[in-house]
Amino acid sequence: MKINQLSYYDHQREWCFEPIQFSDLNLLVGASGVGKTQILESIINLQKIANGKSFNGVSWNIEFTVDTNLYNWHGEFETGKLVNLILDNQNEKNQFKIINEFLSVNGKTIIQRNAQEINFRDQILPKLSSFQSVVAILSEEEDIAPIKYGFSQIKENSEDYGSNSMIFLSFFANKKIFDHYSLLRDKYSSLTLEDIQKSNLLNQIKLGLAYEYFPEIFDKIKKHFMEIFVQVEDIKLEQDEELFKFLNSKNYPLVKIKEKDVNNWINQIQISSGMYKTLMYISELYLSAEETVILIDEFENSLGVNCIDIVTELLLENKKLQFIITSHHPYIINNIGMEHWKIVTRRGGIVKARDAKEFNLGKSRHQAFMQLINLDAYKEGIAVG
């Protein structure tokens, strides 16, 4: 999937962002509170709508491509009375009706829906759920199944890449993920790297499978990691029976690193969050399917300066994925060309994300960066009155 353009309105909370054009690499920059994170959250909300979730007062219009096909999907939910500012859209019992919905593929209308009826391929459908998108309800249909897959390939860094503690591991053990890993190993031993990339497995499980079955890919990941952390001489993933005794499981692949002049391997729970997060970021670049959309909020969090350099270079080199990233870090902004910048500003509840070229910034990267950080739109971001 590749997102080409998106606009999004939250009528209940009275905020929106005007149409944003996206390319392969998009760096959202701007003052705190202008709406950068909300742009990422709106994309996740659309993923949830495509999976059947209902949102109070939300309307959207998104253009995207999946396997060279161009889709336009827009719709709107009714606006209900706000019960709780925080829990309103998170409560599974809250249901809001869809007022209208439209879907076209390569310019051909597939779905046209209003409050009274649903027209699908020029046929009026029997009564369906008023609270779910037709994209979710008819996700098995030939024209719509690619959309379902496309939205499943939107990934946010929600695995909590900084969490390599026993609390984190216990949480996933309770989900029985560990106990299924031996079954996954048997399954993927006869499949391809592309099968792993297209799966919705956790990134660390993908890395474990790559370690066992695709050493050439694992070695590339390890090489980049060791370029950043020069004290590391080896990495492996293996089960640890002692560590997981209290979890009653030993099937999950744990990261272990070997440092120079240190006799024992360092276990995952002893690895710093920055090292672990960096390894997961690098792994994701190699183990995600083509056309995956990767959302990263505050890219610099938990990454040391020595990590930012190489990981940023890998982002710039990777042409098969789409990145939508937010950052405040001068080093990241200065090292990603201004052609990728989206300068985010807000007036009241209206958010805009504009290309750097609209601000007539300097031609050189350094000149453009110095002008950017002195722009009122960048420093202040939120206009009043």
Computed on alpha carbons and rounded to an integer, the radius of gyration of the chain in Å comes to: 23
Q: How far apart are CA 226 and CA 232, in angstroms?
A: 6
pLDDT at residue 385, as a whole number: 46
Q: Is 302 helix (H, G, I), strand (E, B) or coil?
A: coil
Q: How far apart are CA 150 and CA 71, in angstroms?
A: 11
CA proximity to 266, closest of 286, 248, 246, 243: 243
Within 8 A by CB and 6+ apart from 96, the residues are: 54, 55, 56, 57, 77, 78, 79, 80, 131
What is the Cα 267 distance to its own chain's centre? 28
293-296 and 154-156 strand pairing: parallel
List phi, psi (to 5°) of 12.
-70, -40
Task: Specify the DSSP class assigned to residue 358.
Answer: G
pLDDT at residue 277, as a whole number: 87
> pTM of the prediction?
0.87
**Angle 204-145-109 (CA atoms, 0-180°, nearest 5)?**
140
CA proximity to 64, closest of 127, 148, 131, 124: 148
Q: Could you read off the pLDDT of 39-89 as tens digits, one per residue? A: 999 999 999 999 999 999 999 999 999 999 999 999 999 998 765 555 555
Q: Could you read off the pLDDT of 99-119 as tens digits, one per residue? A: 999 999 999 999 999 999 999
Structure tokens belonging to residue 248: 């009653």
Neighbours of 47 (CB within 10 A): 20
- The burial class, CB within 10 Å (0-12 / 13-18 / 19+), for 363 is exposed
**Angle 172-188-215 (CA atoms, 0-180°, nearest 5)?**
95
Q: Are 228 and 242 within 8 A, CB to CB?
A: no
pLDDT at residue 16, as a whole number: 95
pLDDT at residue 380, as a whole number: 63
- In this prediction, the residues of the chain whose per-residue pLDDT falls under 50 are 159, 167, 171, 178-179, 384-385
Q: Are 296 and 325 within 8 A, CB to CB?
A: yes
